[in-house]
């Protein structure tokens, strides 16, 4: 009987202790100058604070909970439209596991300086912060531990928020509506750990036009999404780790986007609609993908990638667009990168497409199996491509090799590739220009079986030849050896290569040069120029053996000149040159030297 009494007594003590762990507190305050402080220790505690004022004097609430599975709810409401200073403050501190904190402030009109602060230490904690109305408000949430969730929602002006999470598998979400956010520190999310997610949404416009946002994540499997609506927005994402993905979507004027990712399997997407946008993507690692889409005027997009990258920039509509893609450097693996579709097409990295006026596009890739494409529609466009290449091959023109398409007048396109002698170089270089007063030049040094094509449809296209009608010699005065001084449309230094120029129009000037300067002088190159129109002049120059040149011109008052220097005495082991002219007052000249 005594043992039974002792057992019952012990159970009652345990039950009493357990019940003591489940505390509940409620604070209701109505009036001016309110202050509430709640401190709870133990598990499964509940704290509720409700404060209401008619706009005279501040509201201050602080809840501190130590333990697990605790719940805290702070609700501060302010009526009237006055300027209540000092403003309301809500603070929350929770230490333990699986705690939940909710903070809500309502301060309409010109009530300013509302502040919400939360600190949670432990795992599987949740904090939700909401501010409705007012201006110059601020959020702050600090979470230390794993699998924590932080959400900030604000409908106010001149405000900012901050979330700082340290641990693994954390999720942070910020949403600010209103105008002029970013005062006193911007909209920030900082996460350190694995498997983090960050989302920012801030919208609005007004006097001052000050929007901004920052996401910084360090760890693996991070995801960051930033969305902004309004003028003068700035969004930044920096991620260090593996399998990161960053998406920035901004709608408005004077937007600025920046994504920096260092690690493996990164993806970055920036979309901006509006005027005077600027987007920067820098990725260092393997298998990075960067997509930039801008719609509006005065855009600038720059993509730098080192690794197994592929990049696309499309700017559609508007004037004064600029796009630059550089893949490979500083130290410097590139492989930008083959995307198999198993339909016979090769799609490697770096494509720029611009529709508008005064566009500038540049692609530079150093080594590896790169592809490049530039398409520009408009006037006064400039396109540059430069690839250092080794063992490049292609089965089609689809995204492989170099490709520039320009529609309009006063355009300038140039392509350059350098490859190892005796290896296969860029096998596809293509420039298409539809318009007048355009300039095109292609340069390829090294490699074998390279193919370059220039197609021009229009009048007054230039690379200032002349070939002075023709009292010989010119084409441009051989011997070249890595040409470039002087004007040229095409220059190839390689073997078993093909260069072709196709022109429809009048008053055009074009020049074509081929040589081979390694392992003897054997060239086996082929050059062809086809022109339909009047008052055109064309020059071909070839150095080496077993080269073939052809010029076909239909029209009046055209001038054509071919010069070949090499060795051989028959059609089969020497050089061959052919000029065919149909029309009146044409002049042609062929010079062949051993």
pLDDT along the chain (594 residues), means of 10: 43 41 87 90 94 80 94 88 70 93 83 86 92 82 90 81 87 79 68 86 65 87 89 88 91 90 90 91 88 91 87 85 87 70 58 84 75 77 73 42 81 80 64 89 80 90 77 74 74 87 91 75 83 90 87 92 70 76 90 82
What's the CA gap between 138 and 142, in Å, rounded?
A: 14
Domain end point (choices 131, 159, 187): 159
Q: Which among 110, 235, 211 has a CA at the least distance from the CA of 159?
A: 211
Distance of CA 593 to the CA centre of its chain: 53
Number of domains in the chain: 2
* 31 lies in some domain: yes
Say what the pLDDT of residue 91 is.
97
9 is a domain residue: yes
The encoded tokens of residue 1 equal 């009987």
**Residue 146 CA: distances (Å) to CA of 167, 171, 241:** 5, 10, 17
Write down the residue that tokens 């006193």 correspond to: 184
> Does a structural domain hold residue 433?
no
Task: Note the pLDDT of residue 81.
Answer: 58
Q: Which two tokens stand for residue 21?
A: 């762990």
pLDDT of residue 82: 54
- pLDDT at res. 392: 44
- The DSSP bridge partners found for residue 176 are 154, 202
Q: What is the pLDDT of residue 354?
A: 85
pLDDT at 72 (0 to 100): 96
The residues, ordered by sequence, that sit 6+ positions from 497 with a Cβ below 8 Å of its Cβ are 444, 447, 448, 449, 450, 451, 452, 514, 525, 526
Identify whether 289 is part of a domain: no
Confidence at residue 14, expressed as pLDDT on a 0 to 100 scale = 39
| pLDDT attached to residue 368 | 66
Asked if residue 153 is part of any domain, the answer here is yes
Domain stops at, among 159, 190, 222:
159
Contact 565, 540 (CB under 8 A): no
Task: For residues 198 and 406, give the distance between their C-alpha atoms in angstroms, rounded to a whole number.
Answer: 40
Can you tell me the distance from the alpha carbon of 245 to that of 241, in angstroms, rounded to the nearest whole number? 10
Domain region containing 560: 509-593
Q: Where are the strands (E) in 275-411, listed by range?
A: 278-284, 289-295, 300-306, 310-319, 322-327, 351-357, 360-366, 373-377, 382-389, 402-407
- Token pair listed for 370: 């790169």
Q: What is the pLDDT of residue 8?
A: 40
Pairing of strands 576-582, 548-554: parallel
In a domain, 518, yes or no: yes
Residue 15 lies in a domain: yes
Domain boundary among 97, 131, 159: 159
On whether residue 420 sits in a domain, the answer given is no
Q: Which residue is it, tokens 């073997």?
A: 495
pTM (whole model) above 0.95: no
């Amino acid at each position: 009987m005594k043992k039974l009494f002792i057992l019952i007594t012990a159970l009652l003590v345990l039950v009493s202790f357990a019940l003591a762990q489940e505390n509940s507190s409620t604070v209701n305050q109505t009036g001016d100058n309110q202050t509430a402080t709640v401190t709870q220790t133990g598990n499964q505690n509940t704290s509720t604070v409700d404060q209401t004022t008619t706009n005279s004097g501040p509201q201050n609430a602080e809840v501190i909970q130590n333990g697990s599975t605790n719940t805290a709810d702070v609700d501060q409401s302010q009526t009237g439209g006055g300027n209540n200073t000092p403003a309301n403050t809500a603070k929350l501190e929770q230490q333990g596991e699986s705690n939940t904190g909710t903070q809500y402030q309502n301060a309409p009109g010109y009530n300013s300086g509302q502040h919400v602060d939360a600190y949670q230490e432990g795992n599987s904690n949740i904090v939700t912060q909401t501010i409705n109305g007012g201006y110059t408000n601020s959020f702050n949430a600090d979470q230390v531990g794993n699998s924590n969730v932080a959400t900030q929602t604000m409908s106010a002006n001149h405000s900012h928020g901050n979330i700082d999470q340290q641990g693994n598998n954390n999720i942070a979400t910020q949403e600010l509506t209103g105008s002029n956010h970013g005062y006193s520190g911007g909209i920030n999310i900082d996460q350190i750990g694995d498997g983090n997610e960050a989302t920012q949404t801030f919208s609005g416009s007004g006097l001052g036009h000050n929007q901004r946002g920052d996401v910084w994540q360090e760890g693996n499997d991070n995801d960051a999404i930033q969305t902004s609506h309004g003028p003068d927005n700035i969004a930044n994402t920096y991620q260090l780790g593996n399998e990161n993905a960053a998406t920035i979507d901004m709608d408005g004027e004077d937007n600025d986007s920046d994504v920096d990712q260092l690690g493996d399997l990164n993806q970055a997407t920036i979309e901006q609609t509006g005027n005077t946008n600027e987007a920067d993507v820098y990725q260092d690692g393997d298998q990075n993908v960067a997509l930039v889409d801008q719609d509006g005027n005065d855009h600038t997009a720059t993509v730098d990638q080192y690794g197994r990258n592929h990049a696309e920039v499309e700017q559609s509509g508007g004037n004064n667009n600029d796009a630059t893609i550089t893949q490979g450097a500083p130290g410097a693996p590139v492989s930008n990168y083959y995307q198999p579709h198993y339909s016979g097409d090769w799609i490697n990295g770096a494509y720029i497409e611009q529709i508008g006026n005064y566009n500038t596009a540049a692609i530079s890739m150093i080594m590896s199996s790169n592809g490049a494409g530039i398409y520009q529609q408009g006037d006064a466009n400039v396109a540059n491509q430069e690839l250092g290449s080794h063992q490049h091959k292609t089965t089609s023109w689809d995204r492989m090799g170099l490709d520039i398409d320009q529609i309009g007048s006063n355009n300038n396109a140039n392509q350059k590739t350098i490859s190892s002698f005796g290896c296969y170089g860029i096998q596809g270089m293509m420039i298409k220009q539809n318009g007048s007063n355009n300039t095109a030049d292609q340069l390829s040094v090294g490699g074998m079986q390279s193919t370059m094509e220039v197609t021009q449809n229009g009048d007054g296209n230039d690379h200032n030849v002349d070939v002075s009608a023709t009292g010989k010699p010119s084409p441009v005065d051989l011997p070249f050896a890595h040409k470039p001084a002087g004007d040229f449309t095409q220059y190839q230094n390689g073997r078993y290569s093909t260069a072709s120029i196709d022109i429809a129009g009048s008053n055009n000037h074009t020049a074509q040069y081929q040589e081979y300067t390694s392992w003897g002088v054997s060239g086996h190159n082929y050059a062809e120029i086809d022109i339909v129109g009047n008052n055109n002049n064309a020059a071909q120059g070839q150095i080496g053996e077993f080269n073939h040149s052809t010029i076909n011109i239909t029209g009046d008052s055209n001038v054509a000149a071919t010069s070949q220097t090499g060795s051989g005495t028959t059609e089969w082991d020497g050089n061959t040159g052919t000029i065919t002219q149909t029309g009146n007052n044409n002049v042609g000249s062929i010079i062949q030297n051993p």
